Amino acid sequence: MSATIHQLGPSRSPSLDPIIQLVAADLNHVNTVILERMQSKVALIPELAGHLIAGGGKRMRPMLTLACARLLDYPGSRHHKLAAAVEFIHTATLLHDDVVDGSGLRRGRRTANIIWGNPASILVGDFLFSRSFELMVEDGSVKVLRILSRASAVIAEGEVDQLTAQRQVETDEDHYLGIISAKTAALFAAACRIAAVVAERDEDVEQALDAYGRNLGIAFQLIDDAIDYASSAEAMGKGVGDDFRDGKVTLPVILAFARGSDEDRNFWREAMSGGRIDDEDLAHATRLLRQSGAIDDTIARARTYGQRAIDALGPFPAGKAKSALAEAVEFAISRAY
Amino acid sequence: MSATIHQLGPSRSPSLDPIIQLVAADLNHVNTVILERMQSKVALIPELAGHLIAGGGKRMRPMLTLACARLLDYPGSRHHKLAAAVEFIHTATLLHDDVVDGSGLRRGRRTANIIWGNPASILVGDFLFSRSFELMVEDGSVKVLRILSRASAVIAEGEVDQLTAQRQVETDEDHYLGIISAKTAALFAAACRIAAVVAERDEDVEQALDAYGRNLGIAFQLIDDAIDYASSAEAMGKGVGDDFRDGKVTLPVILAFARGSDEDRNFWREAMSGGRIDDEDLAHATRLLRQSGAIDDTIARARTYGQRAIDALGPFPAGKAKSALAEAVEFAISRAY
Q: What is the DSSP letter of A318?
A: P
What's CA B27's distance to the chain center, in Å? Answer: 18
What's CA B281's distance to the chain center, in Å? Answer: 28
Greatest pairwise CA separation for chain A in angstroms: 60
| Interchain CB distance below 8 Å, A43 and B140 | no
Minimal C-alpha gap between B211 and chain A (Å):
22
**Are B22 and B324 in contact, with CB atoms under 8 Å apart?**
yes
Length of chain B: 337
How many C-beta atoms surround the C-beta of residue A279 within 10 A? 8
**A contacts of B155 (beta carbons < 8 Å):** 126, 130
> CA A208, CA A194: separation in Å to the nearest integer?
12
Helix residue ranges, H only, B38-77: 44-53, 60-71
| CA-based nearest residue to B216, from B113, B306, B284, B336 | B306
Secondary structure of residue B136 in the 3-state scheme: helix
| Interchain CB distance below 8 Å, A153 and B118 | no
The reported pLDDT for the residue numbered B238 is: 54
CA R_g for chain A:
20
Q: What is the DSSP letter of A67?
A: H
Q: Which of B94, B146, B157 has the highest number of chain A CBs within 10 A, making it the mutation to test binding with A?
A: B157
Burial (CB count within 10 angstroms: exposed 0-12, middle 13-18, buried 19+), residue B201: middle
Secondary structure of residue B117 in the 3-state scheme: coil
**Phi, psi at A57, each rounded to 5°:** -65, 150
The alpha carbon dihedral of B88, B90, B96, B99 has a sign of: negative
Helix residue ranges, H only, chain B: 2-6, 17-37, 44-53, 60-71, 78-101, 112-116, 118-139, 142-165, 173-180, 186-198, 203-230, 233-236, 242-246, 251-259, 262-272, 279-291, 294-312, 320-334
**Are B88 and B128 in contact, with CB atoms under 8 Å apart?**
yes
> CA B330, CA B221: separation in Å to the nearest integer?
14
Query: pLDDT-based confidence at A14, cuts 50/70/90?
Result: very high
**Are B38 and B49 in contact, with CB atoms under 8 Å apart?**
yes
Give A13-40 as a DSSP string.
---SHHHHHHHHHHHHHHHHHHHHHT--
Catalogue all structural domains in chain A, each as residue range(s) with its CATH number: 12-221+313-326 (1.10.600.10)
| Interchain CB distance below 8 Å, B122 and A137 | no
Average pLDDT on A89-98 reads 97
Nearest CA in chain B to A140: B142
> Which tens digits make up the pLDDT trace of B272-319?
998 888 899 999 999 999 999 999 999 999 999 999 999 999 999 999
Q: What is the DSSP letter of B316?
A: S
Tens of pLDDT along chain B (337 residues)?
A: 344 443 444 457 999 999 999 999 999 999 999 999 999 999 999 999 999 988 768 899 999 999 999 999 999 999 999 999 999 999 999 999 999 999 888 878 899 999 999 999 999 999 999 999 999 999 999 999 999 999 999 999 999 999 999 999 999 999 999 999 999 999 999 999 999 999 999 999 999 999 999 999 999 999 999 999 976 544 545 567 888 988 999 999 999 999 999 999 999 999 999 888 889 999 999 999 999 999 999 999 999 999 999 999 999 999 999 999 999 999 999 998 8
> CA A284, CA B51: separation in Å to the nearest integer?
42
Q: Is A140 on the interface with B (CB under 8 A)?
A: yes
> CA B29, CA B265: separation in Å to the nearest integer?
51
Q: Is A99 on the interface with B (CB under 8 A)?
A: yes
First to last CA, chain A: 22
**B contacts of A153 (beta carbons < 8 Å):** 127, 130-131, 134
| Interchain CB distance below 8 Å, A156 and B43 | no
Separation in Å, CA A216 to CA A103, A171, A181 = 25, 23, 10
Whole-complex ipTM: 0.93
Q: Is B81 on the interface with A (CB under 8 A)?
A: no
**A contacts of B94 (beta carbons < 8 Å):** none
| CA-based nearest residue to A184, from A93, A310, A303 | A93
H helix or E strand, kind and range, residue A293:
none
How many C-beta atoms surround the C-beta of residue A13 within 10 A? 10
| Interchain CB distance below 8 Å, A145 and B157 | no
Q: Which of A101, A130, A142, A179 has the highest number of chain B CBs within 10 A, making it the mutation to test binding with B?
A: A130
| Interchain CB distance below 8 Å, A157 and B127 | yes
**Are B84 and B77 in contact, with CB atoms under 8 Å apart?**
no
The minimal CB distance from B44 to the residues A126, A129, A160 is found for A160
> CA B96, CA B106: separation in Å to the nearest integer?
13
H helix or E strand, kind and range, residue B110:
strand B109-110
How many C-beta atoms surround the C-beta of residue A274 within 10 A? 11
**Are B27 and B57 in contact, with CB atoms under 8 Å apart?**
no
